[in-house]
Amino acid sequence: MQVKALDATTDTIAASFLPAFTPRAFLPTQSYTDAFDQRPGQGNNVTTLIRKYKWPALLAAALMVFCALIFFLIKSYTYDTSTYFESRDFIRQLKQSDANWNVKILRKKIDVSNNLSLAPPPEANSRWEQLERLNNSGPLAALWASRRQGYVEAVRNKTLLVDQFQQHNAHLREALDALPLVEDEIQALLNEINIPIPAERLGAANTIVELSLATLEYTLYVTPAKAQEVQRLLNELGPNIDRLPAHRQPPFLTLAQHVKSIIEEQPIVNDLLDRINVIPVAQELDSINELLNETQRRTAATDRQYHLYLAVCASLMAILMIYLAVRLVRSYSVINHINHELQLSNERLEERVQERTRELKEAERELLDAARMAGMAEIATNVLHNVGNVLNSVNISAELVTRKLRSSKTAGLGKAVKMMNEHADDLGQFITVDEKGKLLPRYFNELVDSIAAEQTMLIEELAQLTKSIDHIKEIVTTQQTYAGAARLIEPLKVNDLFEDALRMNSDALSRHHVTVIKEYQDVPTILGDKHRLLLILINLISNAKFAMSHVSEPREMTLGIQILEPTTLCLTVKDRGEGIAPENLARIFNHGFTTRKDGHGFGLHSCALAAVEMNGRLHVHSDGPGSGALFTLEIPLELANR
């Protein structure tokens, strides 16, 4: 509270003299230049807007130019000439591979053992991915896709034709290789056969040689005439084969079969070679190479364009930097002048601050005195409130003693003594003979019993009165030692504390017809601060009684004792009174808050402080107006027998 008051006073005093020292000396850097820009004849709205938004606009323009500069710089570095060189080298390797493939096919035709499978160049997959990245976007993407597909189709078709060529060429080469061998075998067989006419042997041998030569010529020049000639020779050989014995015919039949295979396979092999040669694999690669060249030309043009934009942005940045440098130089003199004024103002300000500091110290002393008086008043109020609650019990006990003394049966003792004094001479006869005298012994016996009962009751009430007075003394002592939070820890029974609190409020509870319901759990003797606990219970019971003073019966108050956890003791006071509004739950324990017209707002506040001093807490729950309230005190459980 003292700190807040001191801060408020400081703000008030500072506000009284700081406005006098906010001239141009306290303007920020931007205001320096704005002050410098104020020239005669510029008082219209347009000039005002220009001065107001000039620097933000320049900052935004510089930021935009810088971003554009970075963007074009990054874009210009995306062009990599090595990528195009590598791609073209890859296309060259593909063309060379295709040419090697054609050479292998031709060598296979002349029966040079060779593998006709097409092996792709090393890193072919990465190269194709590189080509895809170069060409799969932009205006040439569709053309690239079509040419790539054309190349793939050409390679696939050529592969199919090469497979067919290998099959047919294998049959052809097998027949050509076997033809000379079979011819030699037939010539040897003719020499062994006993032919009576030598001219017939020579004719057969010539026919075989002519057939072999004609077949070989056919493999070199595939023409219908050559095919007819070979067929004619086969027809001439047929009757000669039929005249031979059966065991001599197989070589001739094998020769005829090989010749027929050559006649059938040679045209097919030549046709496949022609079809393989016309497949445009190299042309498709050339088209892809042309596409790469076009892409490179366009990329180079775009790169030159980005370099142009980069030069423009760099020029704009240079112009802005030159402008800012000029402004900085022009503002330097103004800044020096303003700094000089600022130094003078600071010196004057230091003098004023020292003066105000002295005033603040004086105000602080006054605030400390006021805070000390307010604290003393708050302590006195709490003491009076708590003492007032206990004085209710004192008044009740005193009233009971007074009422009992007024209605005491000892008042008739004087009459009996007077009667005995009147018959002092014949007292024995009066007591034994007279009717009134006979009543005196019984009266004295009854009087003794009555006086004993009255004495017992008076002793009890005086003991309760003494206990209440002791509690008042403890309240005063507690408040006196409040700064040190002094506590007297002693063994006590929680049930007895509730009973003492009820006894101190018994007359008020009876007057308001309040029924007390006790829900006590068996709790052993604990160690605690008796007077702080009693202060809290008296206040809670008194508040519960007041909360039910304006509601219809039944007026029930429930007192509870239970152990929530092994280390926590819970004391509850529940009433069926007027309840608490939700907006008041958060401030019900605040100092000075009350909802009663004659209340002071000190009781629950002091109870909450006492709970905190005992390392516990006091909280409340209510469902709203008309629903009653439940106050719960939770304190650490310390058993006395530990």
**pLDDT tens digits for range 49-88:** 777 777 788 788 888 888 887 887 776 666 556 666 777 7
Residue-wise pLDDT for 560-608, tens only, equals: 999 988 889 999 999 998 899 988 888 888 877 888 777 777 788 888 8
Peptide bond just before 19 cis, omega within 30 deg: no
Does 532 have pLDDT greater than 90?
A: no
In 436-578, the DSSP E strands lie at 489-492, 514-520, 526-529, 555-565, 568-575
Question: For residue 302, which of 165, 453, 137, 65 has the smallest C-alpha distance?
Answer: 137
Question: For residue 166, which of 274, 277, 272 has the smallest C-alpha distance?
Answer: 272
Q: What percent of the chain has pLDDT over 70?
A: 78
Please name every residue paired with 551 in a beta bridge, in sequence order, or none if there are none: none
Q: Residue 69: CB partners within 8 Å, gap ≥ 6?
A: 310, 313, 314, 317
pLDDT for 436 equals 73
Question: For residue 568, which of 617, 500, 517 has the smallest C-alpha distance?
Answer: 617
pLDDT for 484 equals 43
DSSP-assigned letter for residue 639: B
CA distance 367 to 220: 129
pLDDT for 386 equals 61
Asked if 631 and 572 count as a contact pair (C-beta separation under 8 A), the reply is yes
pLDDT for 516 equals 92
Most confident of 34-48, 128-142, 199-213: 199-213
DSSP-assigned letter for residue 423: T
Calculate ∠ Cα 77-80-83, nearest 5°: 155
Q: If you average pLDDT over residues 353-371, what whole number do you get? A: 79
CA distance 224 to 199: 31
Average pLDDT value for the chain: 77
pLDDT for 630 equals 94
Kindly indicate the confidence band of residue 360, based on its pLDDT and cuts at 50, 70 and 90.
confident
Peptide bond just before 554 cis, omega within 30 deg: yes
Does 483 have pLDDT greater than 50?
A: no
For residue 76, CA distances in Å to 80, 139, 146, 303, 342 come to 9, 19, 29, 6, 50
pTM score: 0.38
Kindly indicate the confidence band of residue 33, based on its pLDDT and cuts at 50, 70 and 90.
very low
For residue 124, CA distances in Å to 94, 133, 135, 293 come to 9, 14, 16, 20
Q: DSSP H helical segments within 193-280, as ranges?
A: 198-220, 224-243, 250-278
Residue-wise pLDDT for 92-134, tens only, equals: 878 787 788 777 777 777 765 556 655 566 666 666 776 777 6
Does 419 have pLDDT greater than 80?
A: no
| H helix count then E strand count, the chain | 18, 7
Please name every residue paired with 557 in a beta bridge, in sequence order, or none if there are none: 516, 575
Helix (H) or strand (E) segment spanning residue 589: none
Does 166 have pLDDT greater than 80?
A: yes
Most confident of 38-52, 155-169, 202-216, 565-579: 565-579
Q: If you average pLDDT over residues 423-447, what whole number do you get? A: 75
Q: If you average pLDDT over residues 204-227, what whole number do you get? A: 82
Q: If you average pLDDT over residues 262-274, what whole number do you get? A: 86
Written as six digits, the tokens of 76 are 């210009």
Does 23 have pLDDT greater than 70?
A: no
Q: Residue 108: CB partners within 8 Å, gap ≥ 6?
A: 114, 116, 165, 166, 169
Does 200 have pLDDT greater than 80?
A: no
Please name every residue paired with 630 in a beta bridge, in sequence order, or none if there are none: 574, 621
Which three-class secondary structure state does DSSP give residue 594?
Answer: coil
Kindly indicate the confidence band of residue 187, based on its pLDDT and cuts at 50, 70 and 90.
confident
CA distance 142 to 283: 18
Q: If you average pLDDT over residues 294-304, what whole number do you get? A: 79
CA distance 312 to 113: 66
